[in-house]
A and B are shown apart, each in its own frame.
Chain A
Amino acid sequence: MEFTEEQIMRYSRHIILPEVGGKGQAKINSAKVFLIGAGGLGCPVGYFLTAAGVGKIAIVDDDNVELSNLQRQIAHNVNTIGMPKVDSVKATFNALNPDVEIVPLKLRLNCDNIMDLIKDYDVVVDGSDNFPTRYMVNDACVLLGKPLVSGAVLRFEGQVTTIIPGVGHCYRCLFEEMPPEGMVPSCQEAGVLGVLPGIIGGLQAMEVLKLIIGKGDLLKESLLLFDGLKMTFRKVKVPKNPDCPVCGKNPTITKLGEYAANYCSMVKSTPPLTTH
């Protein structure tokens, strides 16, 4: 592809990297990323991917901006309180880089719409705030063979992993079933230091860009754990589980909504279980 003068200037710090160059930047400019959640993780992930010039970013979230979001959700602001989060981030992202096509989707992902929504995108990024969505997204990505960059944050700790279906583990290889309700922190327990999603979201954006340019080592068979209080990163190996119910040899989940019906009803009714 030919760059415009403005693109050469805007992306010059990418182009001079041996691992990116004009070819890598062209890949970024034509990539399509599907972002789940316009909250703590979705804001920094989308912000950096927009800055990087990703061609098209769809972002799904059905919430409106509240004042309590602003302590960590850096793409919203006092003037967008009350607005749909997806419209708020679209305005912020496009102010940074008008070339990026932002597709705001104010809706709740469910078993009936997710496959169709994500099927035309190259990478899916999970920044959702509840377990039913997290498992549904995993299963949908495995079934479609879509790369998924998953992130989660709570209090001072976060985790990131990259799922390449057919190559490495999936989320269910890691945690086969959703945690029982008593194990999930209640709303009042689910504090998060505001900068934490910035760190984890930044790592997710890094994984997405490496996936797009095809360089470096992905977290495709590992889970990266960050502890902000101890200031440590720990990378643990995650083997693919041959008996995994969705990506194993004899999967019991072959389409959304049969065995997995529990989350199909849950994603429609449950409030967020953790605060992202």
Chain B
Amino acid sequence: MEDIIPDKKLDIRGLHCPYTFVRSKLAIEAMNVGEVLEILLDFAEASNSIPKSMQDHGHKVLDVARINEKEWVILVRKDKD
């Protein structure tokens, strides 16, 4: 997935539920359809729940990668306005 360049980066390290998703959702709402959001987080549960909720909201999860012991990077493409 190295070739995907995110249009926007969001750092939600230190946040927990529901703010992890609230922040991600607000960020993607402010983007255009087709653009990619990169989310950096350290709340383990959110590495599962954010991709699931993003899909439920009609977006495409491109990648979920654990980059170290306690951090994840999620790439989501906005598919629905």
With a 10 A CB-CB cut-off, give which of B21, B26, B58 has the most chain A CB atoms: B26
The distance in angstroms between the C-alpha atoms of A9 and B23, with both chains bound, is: 10
Set A13, A18, A23: member contacting B57, Cβ < 8 A: A18
Output the nearest chain B residue to A21 by Cβ-Cβ distance. Answer: B29
Q: A21-B29, A22-B29, A23-B29 are in contact. Are A8 and B22 (CB under 8 A)?
A: yes
CB-CB under 8 A from A13, the residues of chain B are: 18
A16 interface contact, C-beta 8 A: yes
Determine if A15 and B22 form an interchain contact, defined as CB atoms under 8 angstroms apart: yes
Q: Which of A3-20 contact B (CB under 8 A)?
A: 3, 8-9, 12-13, 15-16, 18
Q: Which of B5-49 contact A (CB under 8 A)?
A: 18-19, 21-23, 25-26, 29-30
CB-CB under 8 A from B25, the residues of chain A are: 15-16, 21-22
The distance in angstroms between the C-alpha atoms of A9 and B16, with both chains bound, is: 12
CB-CB under 8 A from B21, the residues of chain A are: 16
Dominant SS at the A interface? helix
CB-CB under 8 A from B30, the residues of chain A are: 22
Expressed in whole angstroms, the minimum distance between the Cβ of B56 and any Cβ of chain A is 7
CB-CB under 8 A from A18, the residues of chain B are: 56-58
The distance in angstroms between the C-alpha atoms of A8 and B24, with both chains bound, is: 12
The distance in angstroms between the C-alpha atoms of A13 and B22, with both chains bound, is: 8
CB-CB under 8 A from B56, the residues of chain A are: 18
CB-CB under 8 A from B23, the residues of chain A are: 8
Number of interface residues of A (CB under 8 A): 11
The distance in angstroms between the C-alpha atoms of A12 and B18, with both chains bound, is: 7
Determine if B57 and A12 form an interchain contact, defined as CB atoms under 8 angstroms apart: no
Determine if B26 and A22 form an interchain contact, defined as CB atoms under 8 angstroms apart: yes
Determine if A15 and B57 form an interchain contact, defined as CB atoms under 8 angstroms apart: no
CB-CB under 8 A from B18, the residues of chain A are: 12-13, 16
The distance in angstroms between the C-alpha atoms of A12 and B58, with both chains bound, is: 19
The distance in angstroms between the C-alpha atoms of A127 and B29, with both chains bound, is: 36
Set B22, B29, B53: member contacting A12, Cβ < 8 A: B22
Q: Mark B67-78, 1 if CB is under 8 A from A, else 0.
A: 000000000000
Determine if B57 and A3 form an interchain contact, defined as CB atoms under 8 angstroms apart: no
The distance in angstroms between the C-alpha atoms of A3 and B30, with both chains bound, is: 12
Output the nearest chain B residue to A18 by Cβ-Cβ distance. Answer: B57
Output the nearest chain A residue to B18 by Cβ-Cβ distance. Answer: A12
CB-CB under 8 A from A15, the residues of chain B are: 22, 25-26
Expressed in whole angstroms, the minimum distance between the Cβ of B69 and any Cβ of chain A is 28
CB-CB under 8 A from B53, the residues of chain A are: 16
List chain A positions with a Cβ less than 8 A from chain B: 3, 8-9, 12-13, 15-16, 18, 21-23
Known: A16-B21, A21-B29, A22-B25. 10 other contacts (CB 8 A): A8-B19, A8-B23, A12-B18, A12-B22, A15-B25, A16-B18, A16-B22, A16-B53, A22-B29, A23-B29
Please name 5 pairs of A and B residues whose Cβ atoms are closer than 8 Å in the assembled complex, sorted by A.
A12-B19, A12-B22, A15-B26, A21-B29, A23-B29
A-B pairs, 4 with minimum CB distance: A12-B22, A22-B26, A22-B29, A15-B22
